Amino acid sequence: MGDSLNMSASKQVLLIGCAPSIVDTARQELRALNIQVYGCDNIEHCRSQFYDLVIFGVGLSASERTYVKGQFSTYQRDLRFETVTSPLVVWRIVEALMPAKSQTKLVNLNAYRDRIGYSGPLEPTIETLSALLRHHPAAISYENIDILLDRGIDISPGAVDGKLIHRRRGGYCYEQNALFKRVLMAIGFQVEGLVARVQWTAPADAPPRRRSHMALRVMLDDVAWLADVGFGSCVPTAPLRLDTTHAQETEHEAFRVLPFQGALAVQVRILDEWKPLYELASDVCLDHDYDPLNWFAASHPTSHFRDSLKVARTTAKARYTLLNGKLTTRTPDGRTERQVLNASEIADALRQIFVLPVEPNWLPILHKAASGFDKAQ
């Protein structure tokens, strides 16, 4: 790491609210990169020096962070602040200070805007995040067709962009949220990948499922938000605060987030009853952490993605879900309509409702879907 990321000029980083052991570790590891790390418990003792970056640890409250920003703003207005919610402090510092010329292009934002039909501002604000979370699930359907065709799922940036943006296909969580993460980062959001244990539709007496779902945590004005465009039939169409247990309304259902044994339980209200969506782990996942999870979901014989057709799209008017040959339409007022489709009708639904470019070689899959697949319930 030192050879490729060595800074030409010394950078000064201040860690506030971090344990002394974390400060010492960061100082030792970053010395070779010409990054000077300082720790501080009392802001009054730290203001006399200019810094390139200030990192807030989780031990600092929102009011304390606001106070610190106010103190520094009087003489260093362009100072960058970040809140670190994971043990990856060293890498987060390097990532924040990496020269722009050494960063790879994250995503073509203009192509993405065209794909989701969004023409609004691209600024790292809650308004932008909210707008993208409405537009993305309405334009890019959730689907597992390539898995059923044994094509495998490539979650590298080029493959995901080629499929979801340029070929106007859909995808599942590892594709959808990987794309959305890069979009948010390109706009300037502070975003981290997370993993969750899905509980949606599972019987109460079912054994716990493996952690298999990708979601995102976005930091905005020192507040952590959940962003998720990859949860199919019940995708949240608004950012959800992770620091409150109150019900949070969206265009469709209300959601809530509850602390649960070191994790967070995300729930959705369906017909006045709270149902579990997933259990969200707090540990941060790097991009390559998802590789084995994606491989299992797409390739392992026991993966539920391999035994049934799953397609979903959420617009302001309704949630549309296709499970094999069963099409369900659920409107925001709670009305539900169900239809059973044959293979030809499934193809029509994929084109017209889920806005997917149906390929001729999908036909065998659609016939299997209409008959329910051998393993599907």
Digit-coded pLDDT (tens) for 321-340: 999 999 999 999 889 999 99
**Total residue length of the chain:** 377
CB-based contacts of 340-344 (< 8 A; 24+ apart in sequence): 341/370, 342/370, 343/367, 343/369, 343/370
10-102: CATH, from 3.40.50.2300, 3.40.50.150, 3.30.565.10, 3.40.640.10: 3.40.50.2300
pLDDT of residue 86: 66
Q: Comparing C-alpha atoms, which of 102, 95, 64 is closest to residue 80?
A: 95
Give the three-class secondary structure for 249.
strand
Query: What are the start-end ranges of the E strands in 42-118?
Result: 53-56, 80-83
Farthest CA pair distance, the chain: 72
* Residue-range domain boundaries for the chain: 10-102, 109-289, 307-371
The CATH number of 109-289 is: 3.30.2140.20
CA distance 168 to 166: 5
The pLDDT of 166-173, averaged and rounded, is 98
The pLDDT of 76-103, averaged and rounded, is 75
pLDDT of residue 8: 62
Quick: pLDDT tens for 70-84. Answer: 888 777 778 888 887
- The verdict on whether 173 is a catalytic residue reads yes
CA distance 154 to 104: 19
Amino acid at 181: K
The CATH number of 307-371 is: 3.30.2140.10
Per annotation, catalytic residue among 46, 228, 252, 307:
228
> Tokens 């031990």, residue?
59
Q: How confident is the model at residue 6 (pLDDT cuts 50, 70, 90)?
A: low
- The verdict on whether 228 is a catalytic residue reads yes
The CA-atom distances, in angstroms, between 231 and each of 47, 68, 228, 306, 347 are 45, 37, 7, 17, 22
Strand-by-strand arrangement of the 319-323 sheet: 142-143, 310-314, 319-323, 326-330, 336-340
Residues 206, 291 contacting (CB under 8 angstroms): no
Give the three-class secondary structure for 52.
coil
Model pTM score: 0.88
Per annotation, catalytic residue among 18, 173, 234, 285:
173
Per annotation, catalytic residue among 136, 213, 234, 252:
213
Does 109-289 match 10-102 at the fold level? no
Residues 19, 54 contacting (CB under 8 angstroms): no
Quick: pLDDT tens for 248-307. Answer: 999 999 999 999 888 999 999 998 899 999 999 988 999 999 999 999 999 999 999 999
375: alpha, beta or left? (left if phi > 0; alpha if psi -120 to 50): alpha
Quick: pLDDT tens for 213-237. Answer: 999 999 998 899 999 999 999 999 9
CA distance 29 to 87: 14
Read out DSSP for 262-323? TEEEEEEEETTEEEEEEEEP-S-B-GGGHHHHHHHHHH-TT-GGGSS-EEEEE-SS-EEEEE
